[in-house]
Amino acid sequence: MDNHSQYKNALGLAKRALDYIARYGTPPTPHAYEVFYTVCAGLNPELNEALGKVIAEHRHVTAQDAERLYQEFLSPQQLSEKVETIGAQMNNEMTALLSLIGNAANSVNTYQASLVNAEGQLGDGPAQQNASEMVGALLNATNAMARTNAEVSANLETSRAQVEQLEDCLKLAREESSRDALTGLVNRRQLELVIDESILKSSSTGQPTSLLVVDVDKFKEFNDTHGHVAGDSALRYVASCIKSNIKSKDTAGRYGGEEFAVILPDTSVEHAVSLAERIRHLVNARYLVKKATGESMGKISVSAGAAEFVEGDTAESFLHRADMCMYAAKRDGRNRVESTPAEEPPATAVGA
């Protein structure tokens, strides 16, 4: 996308964000504007869902609602504070560890001094008295050294366990920042990073890379009929169908509200279509049931588009071609897989 197109796109999103602010009576604070702009851009599906629930319940969005949503989903302090806290704890542990090592070194120096002193005593005074005093001093020094070593060993083991636990917490914090909370798939930001990496690899190796875009058919209608809880359950079900069919080198992510994407390294578009067909059949093979009541909600289906990387593709153009194929599947009746793109998505594409 060139600079002029980026400008027009950003301006359009800004106008939509301001329209929403006016529509829902929200005071136009910077944080409120950022919330609505992010929602319009579709950059944070969890935020879209949370805002949708606020609107469904109250029909307006107060300044307090907007600030809460900002702090919960957009505040840059959240992850940085979590990582900073863990980092500080690890720093404390390492400081304590260095102190232990210093104490151990001092203990060794003291013991060495005792040995030197004993050596000097061997040549002075009566041999029997010197030997007796020397043995006693060495026994005392050895016992002190043994106690110090035992203490250092125990403290080192405790520190090692605590550092490992903090490393696990840090790893979890990093994973949480790249995961979609509802489905467990990677989030949009992480997915786009993986697509960029796959494009670079494919360009250098010449191996094919394919991309699937999978969208739940008539999801808005399903949500309106059965409720958001059932809708969330349906999205988790689709995510599980996708995860159970891909390889460890593949990456599946939640790209939008009910839209998923799968990046497939070393995979031709023909094999990508076959995979999408397996996912489509699996999704449509089961009747969904409300756990609380046992009520059948019927079956759901997905439409999917498949595209293969071509030289010159960016993450944006690659996703766009797969997206257009998905819209072609929608246009041709839904519950289909297409690898021939449509001209443009239909005007009623959202929630279709």
Say what the pLDDT of residue 322 is.
96
Residues 336, 338, 344, 349: what is their CA dihedral angle, to the nearest 10 degrees? Answer: 20
* pLDDT, averaged across the chain: 79
What does residue 298 show for φ and ψ, rounded to 5 degrees? 80, -165
Q: How many CA atoms lie within 13 A of 72 on its CB side?
A: 16
**Beta partners for 298?**
288
Q: Is residue 347 part of a domain?
A: no
Distance (Å, whole) CA 269 – CA 202: 14
CB 194 within 8 A of CB 263: yes
Q: How many CA atoms lie within 13 A of 54 on its CB side?
A: 21
pLDDT at 185 over 60: yes
112 three-state secondary structure? helix
Q: In terms of pLDDT, which residue wins out, 233 or 348?
A: 233
- Same domain for 241 and 267? yes
Say what the pLDDT of residue 348 is.
47
- Same domain for 174 and 204? no
**Domain-ending residue, one of 75, 104, 136:** 75
For 139-152, the pLDDT digits (tens) are 666 667 667 666 76
Say what the pLDDT of residue 240 is.
96
Q: In terms of pLDDT, which residue wins out, 291 or 245?
A: 245
Distance (Å, whole) CA 27 – CA 73: 19
- Same domain for 332 and 197? yes
Task: Please state, in angstroms and as integers, the Cα–Cα distance from residue 1 to each residue in 203, 221, 256, 315, 324, following that order.
Answer: 20, 33, 20, 11, 17
Q: Is residue 251 part of a domain?
A: yes
- Same domain for 164 and 192? no
Which tokens in the block code for residue 171?
């790893």
Task: Please state, in angstroms and as integers, the Cα–Cα distance from residue 243 to each residue in 92, 238, 277, following that order.
Answer: 40, 9, 14
Among residues of the chain, what percentage have pLDDT more than 70? Answer: 65
- Same domain for 155 and 63? no
Q: Which domain holds residue 225?
A: 188-338
- Same domain for 193 and 334? yes
Region 110-123 average pLDDT: 57
213 three-state secondary structure? strand
Q: Is residue 346 part of a domain?
A: no
From the list 93, 192, 258, 338, the catalytic residue is: 258
Which tokens in the block code for residue 84?
């900073």
- Same domain for 249 and 321? yes
User: What is the CA 289 to chain-centroid distance, rounded?
Assistant: 29
Give yes or no: 258 in active site: yes
Q: Is residue 343 part of a domain?
A: no
CB 326 within 8 A of CB 217: no
For 265-281, the pLDDT digits (tens) are 999 999 999 999 999 99
Report how many domains make up the chain: 3
